[in-house]
Amino acid sequence: MTLRTEPVVVSIGPHHPSTHGVFRMRLTFDGENIVDAEPVIGYLHRGTEKLAEERQYTQVITLTDRLDYVSSMTSNQAFVLSCEKLIGLDVPDRGMYLRVIASELQRIVSHLIGVGFFLQELGGFGGTALMYAFRERERILDLFEMLCGARITVSYARIGGVFADAPADFWPALRRVLDDLPGYTDELEALVFESEIVQARTKGVSVIDPVLAVNASLTGPVLRGSGVAWDWRKAAPYDVYDRVDFDVPVGENGDNYDRFWVRIQEVRQSLRIVEQCVVQIEPGPVRATDAMLFRPPPGEAYVPTESPKGELGFYLVSDGSIAPYRCHVRAPSFINLSLFKEMLVGWKLADAIVSLGSLDFNMGEVDR
Partner 1 sequence: MYGLGILKGFRVTLKNFIRKPFTVQYPEERLKQAPRFRGQEFVWYEERCTGCASCAKYCPLGIIRIVTDPDGGDEQEGGSYKIDVFDIDQGRCMYCGLCVEACPYDALHMGSTFEGAQATRADLVITMEVLKERPKHPSTWFRPQLEQAGVDPFGGAPVEWEDAGREAFAWHPKRLQAESKSGPEGSPPASAEGSPPGGGGG
Name the residues that contact partner 1, by CB under 8 A: 55-56, 58-59, 62-63, 65, 128, 132, 135, 138, 142, 145-150, 153, 155, 163-164, 167, 187, 190-192, 194-197, 199, 289-295
Cβ burial, residue 275 (10 Å; 0-12/13-18/19+): middle
**DSSP secondary structure code for residue 167 in this structure:** P
Q: Which of 163/246 has CB closer to partner 1?
A: 163
Q: Which of 153/280 has CB closer to partner 1?
A: 153
Q: Which of 37/143 has CB closer to partner 1?
A: 143
Minimal distance, residue 340 CB to partner 1, in Å: 30
Using left for φ > 0, alpha for ψ between -120 and 50, and beta otherwise, residue 326 falls in beta
Cβ burial, residue 288 (10 Å; 0-12/13-18/19+): middle
Q: Which residues contact 47 (CB under 8 A, 6 or more apart)?
A: 368
Cβ burial, residue 279 (10 Å; 0-12/13-18/19+): exposed
Minimal distance, residue 110 CB to partner 1, in Å: 20
Q: Which residues pair with 363 in a beta bridge?
A: none
Q: Which of 28/289 has CB closer to partner 1?
A: 289
Q: Which of 9/190 has CB closer to partner 1?
A: 190
Check if the beta carbon of residue 239 is closer than 8 Å to that of residue 96.
yes
Minimal distance, residue 96 CB to partner 1, in Å: 20
Minimal distance, residue 243 CB to partner 1, in Å: 27
Minimal distance, residue 290 CB to partner 1, in Å: 6
Minimal distance, residue 129 CB to partner 1, in Å: 9
Q: Which of 119/337 has CB closer to partner 1?
A: 119
What is the maximum alpha-carbon separation in the chain? 81
Check if the beta carbon of residue 174 is closer than 8 Å to that of residue 270.
no
